[in-house]
Amino acid sequence: MDRLLIRGGKKLEGELRASGAKNSALKMLAAALLADGPVTISNVPHLRDITTMIELLGSLGVEVVIDEKMNVEIHANTIKSFKAPYDLVKTMRASFNVLGPMLAHYGQAEVSLPGGCAIGPRPVDQHLQGLAALGAIIEMNEGYVKATVNGRLQGAHILFDMCTVGGTEHIMMTATLAEGTTILENCAREPEIVDLANCLNAMGADVQGAGTGTITINGVPSLHGCAHRVIADRVETGTYLIAAAATGGRVKIRDANPEHLEALLSKLREAGAEITSGADWIELDMHDKRPKSVSLVTAPYPAFPTDLQAQIIALNCIAEGTGTIKETIFENRFMHVHEMNRMGARIRLEGNNTTAIVEGVPRLTGAPVMANDLRASVSLVIAGLVAEGDTVVDRIYHIDRGYEQVEEKLQNLGADIRRVASN
């Protein structure tokens, strides 16, 4: 199992290109199951989660062709099986989203209940309730969800009990082939949902209102192939901006959309960063200054994203002052705190472990640390970048799920970081 060895104390300076959004690409790979013709997705990041989804499609008999630039072409009409196996679905929640597209297109699907990061319960009840409202017959057996439908799914008026990104995407995809009109209310508004809707519309769907609380889908008899380019990964972009701010550095990120990161950019300015941006780039310059602590509450988009919470805590660890970070989205999402405290941070948890009070210290000290989930793992990398001495981050397979070539990108910005094999 690989580890990352980081020798801290170097400012991050330079330019890099934002990768494609993992959370867009994964859902588009699932949505390709709706089409009668080939769907080509470009700007797909080279990540373990993407590889898992491609393996899952392959296990169903779907032909997937990938070129050297990670353009992925999916031919759903070669499908031979409608059962997504536990061994693949257990490793990644997004793979559960093949259930609805298979059901809508082929009238049947059987998918294992999902796995993923250990950051608290993320049930799929909203997914299943939405599918049932569209006319799906749902059965649960030995950890699998079996869905069938008599004829075509039927449009419905669905109000989500909670603002769910995965549920919004799953039902939006599925409803494209339902007969009649489907109205989804209390929808999540993330940019990745808009990106998915644009991809579906390129396939011939009629999806309106994505990015707002109400989405209307007018069902069509069939969908055709298309070509679509994935938007930039806002969480990856935000992570490198935070890392540069924590080290007092300067970084420019190309192919990034500043409109998708307004909540973060506001907090980085508050921390003392100079931010400039254009239509497809963001530049941050700390002018060698130590950051100032920031306080925030995570909430659904467009508020501050939970997927950047751990990274901001890493910045607060060495900032001037004390910052309060309240997590409202997921349970168990402060697992990085113990590891950071081992490096000399002063963080205490309050409110039944929903709030982190971070008192900034002048410096952290390198130490062996262990990652527990995707975002916590990269926050420990940021802590290692600002620490004195060597930091070893173990269990980095979490990072490989969501960050493309993380050590190469950081090396290009001047970091002393390398991947080493465990003894």
pLDDT per residue over 345-366, tens digit each?
A: 999 999 988 999 999 999 999 9
> How confident is the model over 39-97, as pLDDT tens digits?
999 999 999 999 999 999 999 999 999 999 999 999 999 999 999 988 888 878 888 99
Q: Rounded mean pLDDT of 17-38?
A: 98
Annotated catalytic, 117? yes
* pLDDT for the residue 335: 87
Burial bucket for residue 405 (CB in 10 Å: 0-12, 13-18, 19+): middle
In order, the DSSP letters of 186-223 are S----HHHHHHHHHHHHTT-EEE-TTSSEEEEE--S-B
Q: Rounded mean pLDDT of 308-319?
A: 98
* pLDDT for the residue 157: 98
Res. 376: pLDDT tops 90: no
Which amino acid is located at 193 in the chain? Answer: I
* pLDDT for the residue 115: 55
Whole-number average pLDDT of the chain: 95
Give the single-character DSSP code of 161: S
> How confident is the model over 87-141, as pLDDT tens digits?
888 878 888 999 999 999 999 999 988 754 443 445 789 999 999 999 999 998 8
Q: Tell me if 161 sits within 8 A of 126, measured CB to CB.
A: yes
* pLDDT for the residue 114: 77
State pTM to two decimals.
0.95
Annotated catalytic residue: which of 117, 163, 187, 226?
117
